Amino acid sequence: MSPAYEATTAWAQAADAADPLRAFRDEFLIPPHEGRDSAYFCGNSLGLQPRAVRAAVEAELDYWGELGVEGHFKGRLPWMDYHEFVRDHLAEVVGARPSEVVAMNTLGVNLHLMMVSFYRPTAARPAILMEAGAFPTDRYALESQVRFHGFDPAEALIELEADEPNGTLSMAAIERALAEHGHRVALLMLPGVQYRTGQAFDLQAITELGHRHGCMVGFDLAHAVGNLPLRLHDSGADFAIWCSYKYLNSGPGAVGGAFVHERHANTALPRFAGWWGHDKATRFQMGPEFVPTPGADGWQLSNPPILALAPLRVSLEVFHRAGMARLREKSLRLTGYLEWLVDTQLADVLDVVTPADPARRGAQLSIRVRGGRERGRALFEHLMAHGVIGDWREPDVIRISPVPLYNRYADCLAFAEAVRAWARAG
């Protein structure tokens, strides 16, 4: 399992030629830089466009033009059932039963909708346990939910500080926090993969721990979905939410997703209801009483945006053909190559923040430049100007995410060569 990597163009080209998933790259539009493909490492922020998306969106525009309202019932994929056409592949990507997932809204909206049902604070158990340094939306959503229920975030929002040297969080720290606060915690909410450090969490172990303390357990999978093979059903998590424009390649502002574990399929927990969540069989009787569709579908509010679901449908078909197991296999080797290049060629310039254990990370490596923030910014600008596209996260992290669907070993080498050229010049 220790691949013999080399820092040469010949080696990278041979590795790309031998890659069993290499043909998938041709299914994507790679942003050009000065007439050549850029080395695009931002699939964790905005995944690239599958070529098939344009025709899929145009097909729906054509149906609208030709069929008008009849498009709800006619056409190849009638709009009435459209969210169901993405369901099986979505379930596959997150390791859930089809009835446990739904494509709807966006991440932030779904987080709030899930919390309406799964964050039920009481005087004795009012708290949410989350990570310190979470993505802003998560912090804002959780704090505002605490206030909405009339509690004081100073007491009811417990933020777990990173306890490992690079700012990552150990399982032991989560255990300690639950041992101390667990009896007061209504909801344990953590990421699948942390957006700044790239650390991956063990969803099943965390869920078991949270449940042992009587907490509901939810996950934000923004950086995990389409990145790691997930087994959400088996993890036992109560709910999860995600967006689809990062590793899922479904376009800016794409339709997000939610998972609700089967055990809550017919829950009596409160929810915010809308007509699209009403039992499909009787939805159009337009009665006054809300009867939810069992499963995740019952949390839908509105009839879905078809033009936005078309890219998700196309993109999930790509995942279905590639398979998460094969993608992970390549991802381990590809990110392993990037890490090897940093460790063996660039150790005087860069440090990797992301855990070295491949089981504790996905595709992304978060990298710090030695010498402080200003040098970090300078390298980042240099990379962007030379067609090596990563992103910058305050205060001092460059995120580089080789995506197994479309990145090449040659891209990783291009990153290393650009860093070396900058270091030599500086």
Ligand X SMILES: *Cc1c(COP(=O)(O)O)cnc(C)c1O
H or E segment to which residue 368 belongs: strand 365-369
Residue 41 touching ligand X (CB under 6 A): no
Tell me whether residue 182 or residue 257 sits nearer to ligand X (CB atom). 257
Is 195 or 415 the residue whose CB approaches ligand X more closely? 195
Token code pair at residue 276:
């699209």
Per the CB < 8 A criterion, the answer to whether 191 and 134 are in contact is: yes
β-pairing, 397-400 with 365-369?
Answer: antiparallel
CB of 240 to ligand X, least distance (A): 12
Instruction: Kindly state whether residue 226 participates in binding ligand X, applying the rule CB under 6 A.
Output: no
Q: Which residue lies nearer to ligand X by CB, 106 or 293?
A: 106
* Residue carrying structure tokens 């069929």: 67
Nearest approach, Cβ of residue 258 and ligand X (Å): 12
Contact between 320 and 313 under an 8 Å Cβ cutoff? The reply is no
Rounded distance between C-alpha atoms, residue 126 and residue 249, angstroms: 37
Stretch that binds ligand X, among 220-228, 267-275, 306-314, 391-399 (CB under 6 A): 220-228
Residue 296 · residue 102 · CB < 8 Å: yes
Q: How many CB atoms lie within 10 A of CB 410?
A: 16
* Sole binder of ligand X in the list 112, 184, 223, 278 (CB under 6 A): 223
Spatial distance between the Cα atoms of 351 and 248, rounded to a whole number of angstroms: 28
Rounded Cα–Cα distance for residues 106 and 230 (Å): 20
CB of 109 to ligand X, least distance (A): 7
Distance in angstroms (rounded) separating the CA atoms of residues 183 and 178: 8
State the binding string over 175-194 for ligand X (x if CB under 6 A, else -). Answer: ----------------x---
> Which one among 157, 217, 243, 419 touches ligand X, defined by CB under 6 A?
243
Query: What are the E-state strand segments in 154-301?
Result: 157-160, 185-191, 216-220, 239-242, 257-260
Side-chain half-sphere of 273: how many Cα atoms within 13 Å? 16
Nearer to ligand X, 296 or 414 (CB): 296
Nearest distance in Å: CB 223, ligand X: 5
- Regarding 195 and contact with ligand X (CB under 6 A), the answer is yes
Angle between helices 107-118 and 136-148 (to 10 degrees): 30
- The contact pattern for ligand X, residues 119-158, with x = CB under 6 A and - = no contact, is ----------------x-xx--------------------
* Cβ distance to ligand X smaller for residue 75 or 133: 133
Q: Least distance in Å: CB of 24 to ligand X? A: 23
DSSP lists the bridge partners of residue 48 as none
Residue count at the site for ligand X (CB under 6 A)?
Answer: 13
- Minimum Å distance from CB 246 to ligand X? 6
Nearest-angstrom CA–CA distance, 252 and 48: 10
Q: Which residue has the tokens 């449908």?
A: 313
Q: How far is the CB of 45 from ligand X (least distance, A)?
A: 8
Residues between 55 and 114 that touch ligand X (CB under 6 A): 106-108
To the nearest whole angstrom, how small is the minimum distance from the Cβ of residue 141 to ligand X?
9
Compute the least distance from the CB of residue 405 to ligand X, in Å.
19
Ranges within 270-309 binding ligand X (CB under 6 A) = none
CA 149 distance to own-chain centroid = 28
* Interface positions with ligand X (CB under 6 A): 106-108, 135, 137-138, 191, 195, 220, 222-223, 243, 256
